[in-house]
Amino acid sequence: AQSVAQPEDQVNVAEGNPLTVKCTYSVSGNPYLFWYVQYPNRGLQFLLKYITGDNLVKGSYGFEAEFNKSQTSFHLKKPSALVSDSALYFCAVRVYNNAGNMLTFGGGTRLMVKP
């Protein structure tokens, strides 16, 4: 069974500082990894994905994430946080060639960026 853990319920960072939102996963095959962002009363917006290739992937709004196979992690990062980045972030995993094609989500991390 696949699972995703986001160890931090909330991350606080000052505007302009770098941010990291942590994610670790557990799968039995090769993972497809995703980050999504959710604003209040809205659905999820896709940020970025790792499928294969370069371990550092870049996504929307200046976000990037690094795939680390040995640590089974896929942490989300941004060099300089904006107040508008404040939202709920979800990490998700899908196993390659999983016939069910379903995503498994982490519990979510609330990012608070203060001016």
Partner 1 sequence: GAVVSQHPSWVICKSGTSVKIECRSLDFQATTMFWYRQFPKQSLMLMATSNEGSKATYEQGVEKDKFLINHASLTLSTLTVTSAHPEDSSFYICSARSGVPEAFFGQGTRLTVV
**Out of 34, 63, 67, 74, which residue is the one contacting partner 1 (CB under 8 A)?**
34
**How far, in Å, CA of 106 to CA of 93, rounded?**
9
**Nearest to 50, CA basis, from 77, 70, 27, 68:** 68
Asked if 86 is part of the footprint of partner 1 (rule: CB under 8 A), the reply reads: no
Asked if 82 is part of the footprint of partner 1 (rule: CB under 8 A), the reply reads: no
Asked if 43 is part of the footprint of partner 1 (rule: CB under 8 A), the reply reads: yes
Stretch that binds partner 1, among 14-22, 68-76, 77-85, 97-105 (CB under 8 A): 97-105
Go through 11-30 and write b for each residue having 16 or more CB atoms within 10 A of its CB, e for each that does not: bebeeeeebebbbbbebeee
How many CB atoms sit inside 10 A of residue 71's CB? 10
**How far, in Å, CA of 76 to CA of 21, rounded?**
5
Asked if 101 is part of the footprint of partner 1 (rule: CB under 8 A), the reply reads: yes
Asked if 49 is part of the footprint of partner 1 (rule: CB under 8 A), the reply reads: yes
**Out of 7, 17, 30, 51, which residue is the one contacting partner 1 (CB under 8 A)?**
51
Q: Which residues bind partner 1 (CB under 8 A)?
A: 32, 34, 36, 41-46, 49, 51, 90, 94, 100-103, 105-108
